[in-house]
């Protein structure tokens, strides 16, 4: 338990709806519930932040190929942001992927997503390239990487 009263741990299948609700409220192009559900079949790929018995954030990370980890998503409920939970979730998923033998981590972030890019930079992620039109609405993605 952190000083701010939240706990980072593996997600449980019955928490899918809570995770999906945060996803819906956090992204203009949210992942469908079915896709989020599929990550529960990859053991240890979803972690959550729990505060006062509520799920208030989550992160998803998978090993994509040998030694390459992919941070798929990270989000914190809007009214719970700026309390360190995003950092704690990112740290948690980095630790997990590192234990699964990832040597490099990769993620995509909207070019306009200043908050998330700032978070990733704090953890040492560096922009490697841009993918134009990556998102449904045509926005460019920045691909960021961290060598572990």
List residues binding ligand COA (CB under 6 A). Answer: 26, 74-76, 81-87, 109, 113-116, 118-119, 122
> Rounded distance, CA 100 to CA 141, Å?
26
**Block residue for tokens 């990370």:** 61
84 φψ region: left (φ > 0), alpha (ψ -120 to 50), beta (else): left
CB-wise, 62 or 119, nearer to ligand COA? Answer: 119
CB-wise, 58 or 102, nearer to ligand COA? Answer: 58
The residues, ordered by sequence, that sit 6+ positions from 139 with a Cβ below 8 Å of its Cβ are 110, 111, 112, 133
Distance of closest approach, residue 44 Cβ to ligand COA, in angstroms: 20
Q: Give me the residue whose beta carbon is nearest to ligand COA.
A: 86
Do 98 and 61 touch, CB atoms closer than 8 A? no
CB-wise, 82 or 132, nearer to ligand COA? Answer: 82
Distance of closest approach, residue 141 Cβ to ligand COA, in angstroms: 9
């Amino acid at each position: 338990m952190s000083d701010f009263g939240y706990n980072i741990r593996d997600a449980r299948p019955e928490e899918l709806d809570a995770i999906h609700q945060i996803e819906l409220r956090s992204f203009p192009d949210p992942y469908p519930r079915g896709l989020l559900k599929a990550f529960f079949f990859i053991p240890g790929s979803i972690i959550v932040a729990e505060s006062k018995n509520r799920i208030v954030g989550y992160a998803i990370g998978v090993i994509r190929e040998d030694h390459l980890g992919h941070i798929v998503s990270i989000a914190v409920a809007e009214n719970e942001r700026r309390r360190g939970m995003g950092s704690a979730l990112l740290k948690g998923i980095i630790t997990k992927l590192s234990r699964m033998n990832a040597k490099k981590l990769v993620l995509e972030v909207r070019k306009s997503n200043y908050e998330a890019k700032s978070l990733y930079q704090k953890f040492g992620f560096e922009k490697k390239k841009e993918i134009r039109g990556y998102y449904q609405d045509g926005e460019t993605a920045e691909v960021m990487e961290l060598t572990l």
